[in-house]
Structure 1
C-alpha cells in the first residue's frame, strides 16, 4: 500500500472516530487534520494535472502519426475512362465516366444496334466491350403501307405510293371519289332539313341552320347535314374528339371507350379508376392495379425455397431473404430483397422517359456502400429500356423505344452494392408495365 493511500485511510478512520466520540485520543488534532486534507487536495490536483498532460501528449502523438501516414500515402485521384460518343443514327445514355459507371446505347428507328448495349468503366480506366454502331435496316420490311400501297425506300425514310382511293402517309385514309367539296355532307334523308327562304325584290333567298349546307338550286334546294366527324378526320387536322366522333343532324357528339368518362368539354376522355372507386372484382388477398380503361388483379409471390435460399413476404409488394449460412456463397449472392412494381402507360408515349428509380440507403450506425451497379436482368422486352445511374445513390429505368398497346411488358432490374470493391448485397425490382390500347 502506498504512503499516500495509507494516509488517506488514516484520515477516514479519524473522521469516523470524531463523529462518534470527541474523546478519541489516538487521532490527530483538528489543525493536523485540516493540514492533512489540504495535502491530499494538492496531491489529487497534481495527479489530475499529470493525467491531463498524458492525454494531451497521446493526442499530439496520434495527430503526428496521422499526418505521417497521410503524407506517405496520399489519396489516389478518381479513375476516369475516356469520353464516349453516341453512335451515328443512335443515342447514348449516361454522362459520367468514373469507375463503376455505365453508359447505354440505342439506335433510331430503322437501325439495329451492332455490339453491346451497355459498357462499364473499369478500375483500370478502360471500358468493357467494343464500341457499338447502328446498322441501317429496311424500313419497308415491316410493310408499313396499308390497303395495297407500295413502299419505296428513301434516305432514312420511306414513302407509300397509294392506290387512287386511298391517301395518307401509310395509305390509311379513304379518299373521296367525287370532286372535293368544302364540306362533307350526308345524303341520308334523316339528316336533311328544309331551308328557310324569303323572296326579296322578286329574288328567292334561302339559308340553312348551323351545321347544314345548302344543296340544289335556290328554287328547289335542301339543307344537308355537314358531317363534322369527316371534316376533322383529314390527316394533319386537329381531332374534334379525343376518341370516337358520332355525327348527328346539325352537330356531332364524342364517345369515350369503355373504362373512360367524358369530361365537361364534351370531347375529352378521362380514365375511370376502378380500384379507388371499388368498381373491381379482385379477390381478397390480391391487389387491384388501375390501367388505362380497366384494371388488373395481381398477387405477387415470393420465389420458392431453393436449398439455403428462402424468402419471407414482408409487405404486399416485397420479399426479403432469410439469413444465410455463413459458408453459403450462393445464398449471399442471391437477391437480398425482391420488390414488385406496376405501371400503367398510354400507347405510343413519347420517349425517352424515366419510368422507375432505384436507390440505396444505409441503416443508422452502419456504413453504406461506396459503389453501386445497376442492370437489366430479366423480362420479356429488354430492347425497349436502358438502366443507368442518375447520381451516386440512384439508378433510373428509361423507356427508349415507344410501346404500342394493348400489351403487358415485364422488365427486371437489379442494384448491386459494393464496399471497398467487395460485393455486399443485391436487390431486384420486378416491374410490370400495362400498356393501354389508347394514346391518352
Structure 2
C-alpha cells in the first residue's frame, strides 16, 4: 500500500526537481477557489453598496423635484370660484358655484405626482326655476332601482346610507298604464327633490331613494334631500365639519376659512404656513410669524432708555452696553432683553405651560422669577420649575383674535444685592378660531 503523498519520477530521468504531489495540487486548487470566492463576495458587496447609493441619489433627486414642483394654476369655473392657494403635489383645490347654479364635475381636485390635476375641470350650470316644483313629479315605473348619476369627489357622510329612507306600500290597484310615459320629465338628479325609484311586482309597489335622500310624498313618490349639516350642527359632538358645512344634493361639503386648507379627511382644516411658503408681505427688516389662519409681520428693536443703551446682538436679543462706574440707574436696567413670539388657538384650555426661562450659569446665590409687565397680565403667571428655571403659564383661556404680551423677569442676587436682571418678552398671537 502506497500513500498518495509519495512523489514519483520517471526511471529515465535523474529528477533534478521533485514533482508536486496530488495532495499539494488539491491544496493549491482549494486556495485558488477560496480566493475567487472572496473576490466574488467582495464584488457582490460592492455592487449592493453601489445600488443603494444610486437609489438614495434617485430618491433625494425626486424629493427635491417634488418639493418645488407645482401643478398649473386651475381656473375657477364660470359663475363659481376656486378655494385653495397652494398648488404643490398632494394639495387640493375646491370649487363652489354661485347661488342659482349647480356644479357639474368634481368638487375637489388633487395635484398628482405627474403635475396634473385629478379629474376634469368642473363647470357651473344654471338651475331651472321648475326644479323645486313638487307638482311636476309623479311615480314612474322602473324595472329595477337605479342609483343617482350625480357624482362628487367631496367626502360623503359615512352613515349616509343609514339616513337614506326607504319604504314599501302595498296597493291593490292595477299596474300603471302605458300612458305613464307621457308624464313630465323628471328634473336633473342634482336638485334637492327627486322622484323616487319604484318597482311594481304582483300588485305591490316598492319605492326607494338615492343615498342622501329620504322618501316623502303622499304616495312615497318623492325623494327629498337630507340636510346633513342641519342634522349635525357645528359645535356639537359628531359634527361633520370643523368650520363650515354646506349642504349639497345627496351629500355635503366642508369649507375652511382663509389661511387654512381642507385636510385629506374632507372635514378638518390645516393651517397654511405663509412664512414658510413665502406667502407673506413682510419686509426684510421684519420677522414673519406664522399664526393659525394668518401671519404677523413684527419688528424687533432694542428699547430706548434714559440711563442705558442697548445693542442688537442677534435677531431676537438685545444686550446692554457696559455702565459707567457708579451709575445706579444703568445697573438697574436689564442686562439683556429677549423677544419670543407664540401662536395659539382661541379658547385654549388652561392652565397650560407656554414658555420656560433658564439661566445658563449662576454667579450669585439666588435666582428669582416673576412677571415684570405686559398686556394681559391677568391671563399669565410665572412659577419656579427648577433650581435655574422659571415657567410662564397661561392661567385663563383667551378668546381670539387677540395679541397679548408677558414680560418674564429673571433676577440674579448675591446676599440680597442685585447682580443683574434679564428680561424675556413673550408675545402671544391668539387665533380667532379654535383649530
TM > 0.5: yes
2:391 match = 396
Tell me if the contact between 1:370 and 1:420 (Cα under 8 Å) persists in the aligned partners. Answer: yes
2:290 match = 290
2:125 match = none
Rounded to whole Å, the distance in 1 between the matches of 2:348 and 2:234 is 23
1:197 match = 198
2:240 match = 240
Task: Map 1:48-63; keep pairs closer than 5 Å.
Answer: none
The alpha-carbon distance between structure 1 residues 216 and 432, as it changes in their structure 2 partners (threshold 3 A), is same
Tell me if the contact between 1:292 and 1:345 (Cα under 8 Å) persists in the aligned partners. Answer: yes
Rounded to whole Å, the distance in 1 between the matches of 2:197 and 2:399 is 50
1:326 aligns with 2:325: yes
Q: Structure 1 residue 305: deviation in Å? A: 4.2
The alpha-carbon distance between structure 1 residues 386 and 223, as it changes in their structure 2 partners (threshold 3 A), is same
Rounded to whole Å, the distance in 2 between the matches of 1:268 and 1:370 is 51
2:304 match = 304
Tell me if the contact between 2:369 and 2:383 (Cα under 8 Å) persists in the aligned partners. Answer: yes
Q: Structure 1 residue 183: deviation in Å? A: 9.2
Q: Secondary structure at the match of 2:221?
A: strand
Rounded to whole Å, the distance in 2 between the matches of 1:216 and 1:252 is 23
Rounded to whole Å, the distance in 1 between the matches of 2:235 and 2:286 is 44
Rounded to whole Å, the distance in 1 between the matches of 2:395 and 2:199 is 64
Q: Secondary structure at the match of 2:354?
A: strand
1:409 match = 404
1:273 match = 273
Task: Map 1:47-86; keep pairs closer than 5 Å.
Answer: none
Root-mean-square deviation (Å):
2.0
Give CA deviations for 1:333-385 in whole Å, capped at 9, x if unaligned: 110001111010000111110001111012xxxx6332111111111211111
Q: Which has the greater radius of gyration?
A: 1
1:44 match = none
Aligned length: 250
Tell me if the contact between 1:343 and 1:433 (Cα under 8 Å) persists in the aligned partners. Answer: yes
1:214 aligns with 2:215: yes
Q: Structure 1 residue 204: deviation in Å? A: 1.3
2:131 match = none
Tell me if the contact between 1:274 and 1:290 (Cα under 8 Å) persists in the aligned partners. Answer: yes
1:231 match = 231
Tell me if the contact between 1:215 and 1:222 (Cα under 8 Å) persists in the aligned partners. Answer: yes
The alpha-carbon distance between structure 1 residues 414 and 337, as it changes in their structure 2 partners (threshold 3 A), is same
Question: TM (normalized to structure 2)?
Answer: 0.55
Tell me if the contact between 1:374 and 1:416 (Cα under 8 Å) persists in the aligned partners. Answer: yes
Rounded to whole Å, the distance in 2 between the matches of 1:344 and 1:369 is 35
Rounded to whole Å, the distance in 2 between the matches of 1:305 and 1:286 is 22
Rounded to whole Å, the distance in 1 between the matches of 2:323 and 2:237 is 63
Gaps of 5+ in 2: 1-162, 166-188
Rounded to whole Å, the distance in 2 between the matches of 1:234 and 1:254 is 11
1:431 match = 426
Rounded to whole Å, the distance in 1 between the matches of 2:298 and 2:416 is 38
Q: Structure 1 residue 190: deviation in Å? A: 2.6
1:346 aligns with 2:345: yes
Q: Structure 1 residue 428: deviation in Å? A: 0.7
Question: TM (normalized to structure 1)?
Answer: 0.55
1:357 match = 356
Q: Structure 1 residue 189: deviation in Å? A: 9.3
Tell me if the contact between 1:415 and 1:427 (Cα under 8 Å) persists in the aligned partners. Answer: yes
Tell me if the contact between 1:361 and 1:368 (Cα under 8 Å) persists in the aligned partners. Answer: no
Tell me if the contact between 1:183 and 1:231 (Cα under 8 Å) persists in the aligned partners. Answer: no
Tell me if the contact between 1:374 and 1:414 (Cα under 8 Å) persists in the aligned partners. Answer: yes
Tell me if the contact between 2:164 and 2:210 (Cα under 8 Å) persists in the aligned partners. Answer: no
Q: Secondary structure at the match of 1:314?
A: strand
Tell me if the contact between 1:229 and 1:246 (Cα under 8 Å) persists in the aligned partners. Answer: yes
Q: Secondary structure at the match of 1:217?
A: coil
